[in-house]
Amino acid sequence: MAQENSHQQRDRVRERFTRTAEVFSSFVLTTRTADAELLVEMAAPRGGECVLDVACGPGTFALQFAPRVQTAVGLDVTPAILAQARAAAVAAGASNLFFVNGDSAALPFAAGTFDIVCCGYSLHHMSDAAAALREFARVVRRGGRVAVADMVVAPPGSFAVNNAIEQARDSSHVRTLLPDEFPSMVEAAGLRVSECRTTVSPRSFKSWMSVGGWKLGEETYEATRRLMAQSIEGDTSGFHPLLAEDDSGDIHFQQTTLFIVAEKP
């Protein structure tokens, strides 16, 4: 049953990011560069090292690691998004950056292959995030680092409300973790957390929905907006949403991200 669920989730992710490959790639390659730079800084790569970026998407994090290491490898389950990543690598002149099609649930690498394994904004798409973290720990060498960044449910938000909004927008979303749950899960994978940092990023609801492939008036757009609007009172989602002061009908909100670096003892 677990394997069946994993395969179904892989198909949902592949469908979603095939459908939105271009708009999603444009969004993350322009808005998440600072996030990638922060995770690279925390991971402290050295020149002779080899890095794996799991669920790499269009290569946002791998592109930042590549100039600082000997070899960088990006892995993703969606061929359409890998095409975007390869194009971005060529444009950046990153000749030491390579991409492979593969599943984070069963990484196609031997134990201890990499000095650093990173994963940015992808754990929430994985059917079993704890199992994925164990895979990261397996393929990193002893003394190596696992560097992960993903959204968390910010206080005073409700786990259920936050994830209901995310799942209404994106059927490939599994679960956003709680702030204390995330590092505990990393430690449970056999890693030792060395550093955590939190960032808060402003978002526009209209832009967020556009990146997800939805337009104003469409059922998914309107259903997600209703849930977000209902969470304004009391900030029950943890998104800190506020109606725009103009007549646009937009909702401004914030995404909270936790960055973690852990060492394999």
Chain segment 56-110, per-residue pLDDT in tens: 999 999 999 999 999 999 999 999 999 999 999 999 999 999 999 999 999 999 9
Distance, in Å, from the CA atom of 75 to the CA atom of 64, rounded to the nearest integer, reads: 15
Given a cut of 60, whether residue 181 has pLDDT beyond it is yes
Given a cut of 80, whether residue 3 has pLDDT beyond it is no
Give the pLDDT band of residue 24 (cuts 50, 70, 90).
very high
Which domains, and CATH codes, for the chain? 2-154+172-202+255-263 (3.40.50.150)
Give the pLDDT band of residue 247 (cuts 50, 70, 90).
confident
* pLDDT (mean) for 192-219: 97
Share of the chain above pLDDT 70, in %: 98
Distance, in Å, from the CA atom of 106 to the CA atom of 227, rounded to the nearest integer, reads: 35
Given a cut of 70, whether residue 2 has pLDDT beyond it is no
* pLDDT (mean) for 137-148: 99
- Matching residue, tokens 């002893």: 142
Given a cut of 80, whether residue 1 has pLDDT beyond it is no
- Matching residue, tokens 């000749």: 95
Q: Which residues of the chain form beta strands (DSSP E)?
A: 50-54, 71-76, 97-101, 114-120, 140-152, 192-204, 242-243, 251-263
Mark 69-90 as b/e (b = at least 16 C-beta within 10 Å).
Answer: bebbbbbbbbebbbebbbebbe
* pLDDT (mean) for 228-254: 95
- Matching residue, tokens 């196609």: 108
* Pairing, β 114-120 against β 140-152: parallel
Given a cut of 90, whether residue 136 has pLDDT beyond it is yes
Give the pLDDT band of residue 175 (cuts 50, 70, 90).
very high
Q: Check residue 4 and give its pLDDT.
A: 54
Overall size of the chain counted in residues: 265
Distance, in Å, from the CA atom of 191 to the CA atom of 89, rounded to the nearest integer, reads: 30
156 cis-preceded (ω within 30 degrees of 0): yes
Question: 10 to each of 77, 173, 188, how far by Cα in Å?
Answer: 7, 11, 24
* 250 alpha carbon, distance to own chain's centre: 24
Q: Check residue 6 and give its pLDDT.
A: 82
Question: 38 to each of 117, 128, 217, how far by Cα in Å?
Answer: 15, 26, 37
Given a cut of 60, whether residue 123 has pLDDT beyond it is yes
Distance, in Å, from the CA atom of 191 to the CA atom of 145, rounded to the nearest integer, reads: 9
pTM: 0.95
Given a cut of 80, whether residue 251 has pLDDT beyond it is yes
Q: What is the mean pLDDT of the chain?
A: 96
Distance, in Å, from the CA atom of 144 to the CA atom of 126, rounded to the nearest integer, reads: 23
Q: Check residue 5 and give its pLDDT.
A: 75
Distance, in Å, from the CA atom of 227 to the CA atom of 206, rounded to the nearest integer, reads: 14
